[in-house]
Amino acid sequence: MSAYADQRVLVVGGTSGVGLASAREFAAQGADTVIVSRNPQRIDEAVTALSGLAGPVTGQTLDIRSDDEVAKFAATAGAFDHVVVTAGETPMGRVDTLPLEEAYAAMDSKFWGAYRIARALRPTRSLTLVSGYLSQRPGRASALQSAINAALEALVRGLALETAPLRVNAVSPGLLRTPLWDGLDAAARDTMYSSAVQRLPLGRVGEASDVAEAVLFLAGNGYATGTTVFVDGGGMIA
C-alpha cells in the first residue's frame, strides 16, 4: 500500500515549483491531493500533468490574500490530514528602492497568506510551511525576503505549541531551478546559476524535487514539530 493511500493532502501553491513537486510526490504515494492557487488555467494544467498517479489530484482556485476566500474554502473543503503552504510572491529589491506597496503585498502574500491558512484550517496530522534560507543568510537586496522567511519560521515554532499535537514545521530552500526565476533575463539567470554552482559545497543548483522530499519527510515523521529543515545545498555555510 502506498504511504499516503488513506490520507488527504492540501498543497497551497501547488501549480508550479516546490508546490507542484510536492503535490506530485504526495499523489505518487497514494494521497488524495488537492491543489489550490489563484490561477484557474494553471490549476487545470497542473491537474492534467499529475493525472495517472497512484492517488487522485483535484484543484480549486483560492487567493490566500483574501480573508473571505480562505474562510469560505475552510468551511467547504472538508478535512485534510496534511496541509502544505508553498505560495507567496516576494519581489527582490533594497529597502530604500522597493516601493512600499510591493513590500506590503509581499508580506500579505507569503506571511499573512500562510497565517490565514493556519488560522482557518486545522489538519489532523501536519502543517508544513515553506520559507527560505535568506532567513538566516540575507543578501544585499533581500532584507524584505529575509524578514518574511524569518517570520514564517518563528510562526512555525509558535504554532507548534499553540496547535499541539498537530505537528507544524517549515522547509527552507536555497536557490532552486524553478519557474520563480523565469522573469529574469536568460543570460542573467544562467550567470546566477553558474555562480551558485561554483559557490555551493554540493556544486549544483537545487531542484524543486529536492525540497519536496523534505516536505514529505516532515509530513510523515511523527516526532518532528516546531522545526525548520534547510535544503540549501550548503548555502548557509558557503
What's the whole-model pTM score?
0.94
**Residue 68 backbone phi and psi in degrees, to 5:** -65, -45
Residues 157-177 have a mean pLDDT of: 96
The span from the CA of 204 to the CA of 207, in Å, is: 9
Query: In terms of Cα–Cα distance, which of 70, 135, 82 is closest to 109?
Result: 70
Is the bond into 201 cis (omega within 30 degrees of 0)? no
Confidence at 1, pLDDT banded by 50, 70, 90:
low
The span from the CA of 144 to the CA of 151, in Å, is: 11
Q: What does the pLDDT read at residue 113?
A: 97
Domain 8-230 is of which CATH architecture?
3-Layer(aba) Sandwich (3.40)
> Cell numbers 497514494 label which residue?
30
Q: Is the dihedral of CA 228, 148, 24, 197 positive or negative?
A: negative
Query: In terms of Cα–Cα distance, which of 42, 45, 22 is closest to 176?
Result: 22
Look over the chain and give the mean of its residue pLDDT values, rounded to a whole number: 94
For the segment 4-18, what is each residue's pLDDT rounded down to a tens digit? 999 999 999 999 999
Single-letter code of the amino acid located at 215: V
Cβ distance 206 to 177 under 8 Å? yes
For the segment 108-128, what is each residue's pLDDT rounded down to a tens digit? 999 999 999 999 999 999 999
57-61 and 82-85 as β-strands: parallel, antiparallel, unpaired? unpaired
Please report, for the chain, the start and end positions of each structural domain, with discontinuous segments joined by +: 8-230
C-alpha cell at 187: 543570460
